Amino acid sequence: MRILYFSDNCSDHNRRFLEKLVSFGYDVYFLNATPDGLAEEDWLPRGVRRLHPRLSIRRDADPSEFARFLPEFQSLLKEFRPDLVHAGPVQTCGYVAALSGFHPLVVMSWGSDMLVHAGQNAEWIRATEIALGAADGFFCDCETVRKAAQHYMVIPNARIVQFPWGVKRGSFSPSGPTYLRQRANPGAFTFISTRSWEPLYDTSVLLNAFHLAYRKNHRLRLLLLGDGSEAGRVRTFIADHELNQVVLTPGKIASTEMRRWFDAADAYVSCARSDGTSISLLEGMAMGLPAVVTDIPSNHEWIAEGKNGFLAAAGSAEEFAEKLLCAASLPPSDVKAISQRNQAIVAERADWDQNFPSLLRLYTCLVGSAAVMEA
């Protein structure tokens, strides 16, 4: 089966999808219409063929801007004649694929496309309706996104695949004290954040919350991984509040190195205002860490207050500070129970290898149906 996988970034998430498709023997072509497509060739999994478009569209462009890519996309369809197109996010790549009239089409949500952008104005609403209305199949990572999409589409449940973008079995699991942990001050309690320094992830709320909590508990430390457009504000806040010795900012960390940073932490934290199923949350849970996350529906699918983590109101530094202090004061028996509980949840519900074949079954169903219709 020949798959045209159409997206707007060269992220680790896309690489994992492409790698998995090739491993199952599919003939896979990768198309990226954004400048991110100029990323190093060694990003591409072995066996995937990259298409090099002439036109380049900004990743943050409106749907109407993305629609300029339609003629080239239609030309590529004629040239490579895929059996199926897998396209997302919804209002960009999914929208262009829908406008092309190609079938069968699987539209994939990236979470924020449905939870943040879908209803922001008439143009985005229309693009959402067109993309989902043309979809023969739909892929999402959580029930919250599924419900949001169902406002715009009528697709039988048999043609919706839902599973988290998950954790590969054995790739994240606690291994005991590490060199990084041993370097920390004796008795310190370390939180880890792996989200980008962008407005959606509310890094300013996290820093304010940590500062408030640190004033009450000087054992606290923060591993603030990543980078982003708010880097200047982040570094200014840390300097102005004299947190340089307790907030570590090592920059962007390669995915192959992420496990050892999680291993250096005692708890995971994210202040994201909107999320699907967060891969970084699942990674933290797989490492046995309690989580302090935003009180939003998608996080309710994974975190129960006081059972395996803590929930705080979006945008509330005060509430997050309170929950950071709660996590840091958990007795050892509770820490052990939460660690075991979170590892078990991820193993049962977020095993990447176990869940992925359900997407392949959808592919087979749609391509088979298309063949029958053409016969």
Q: Is there a cis peptide before residue 297, judged by omega within 30 degrees of 0?
A: no
Query: Is residue 254 classed exposed, middle or buried when 0-12, 13-18 and 19+ CB atoms within 10 A define those classes?
Result: exposed
Whole-model pTM? 0.88
- Could you tell me the two tokens for 370? 């298309």
Distance, in Å, from the CA atom of 163 to the CA atom of 18, rounded to the nearest integer, reads: 16
Residues in the chain, how many? Answer: 375
- CB-based contacts of 60: which residues, under 8 Å, 6+ apart? none
What is the phi/psi pair of residue 9, to 5°? -165, 160
Which residue is listed with tokens 């896309």? 14
Q: Report whether 82 contacts 2 (CB < 8 A).
A: yes
Instruction: Count CB neighbours of 168 within 10 A.
Output: 14
Buried b (16+ CB within 10 A) or exposed e, 105-117: bbbbbbbbbbbeb
- Could you tell me the two tokens for 131? 């993309």
What is the phi/psi pair of residue 310, to 5°? -140, 150
Q: What CATH fold (topology level) applies to the domain 179-349?
A: Rossmann fold (3.40.50)
Amino acid at 150: Q
What is the phi/psi pair of residue 197, to 5°? -85, 70
- Could you tell me the two tokens for 99? 């406008």
Q: Per residue of the chain (375 residues), what is the pLDDT tens digit?
A: 999 999 999 988 999 999 999 999 999 999 999 987 555 567 889 999 999 899 999 998 999 999 999 999 999 999 999 999 999 999 999 999 999 999 999 999 999 999 999 999 999 999 999 999 999 999 999 999 999 999 888 888 889 999 998 887 777 767 654 434 444 456 899 999 999 999 999 999 999 999 999 999 999 999 999 999 999 999 999 999 999 999 999 999 988 899 999 999 999 999 999 999 999 999 999 999 999 999 999 999 999 999 999 999 999 999 999 999 999 999 999 999 999 999 999 999 999 999 999 999 999 999 998 655 554
Q: What is the pLDDT of residues 81-119, one digit of tens each?
A: 999 999 999 999 999 999 999 999 999 999 999 999 999
Architecture of domain 2-163+356-374: 3-Layer(aba) Sandwich (3.40)
Amino acid at 218: H
Question: In which residue ranges of the chain is CATH 3.40.50.2000 found?
Answer: 2-163+356-374, 179-349
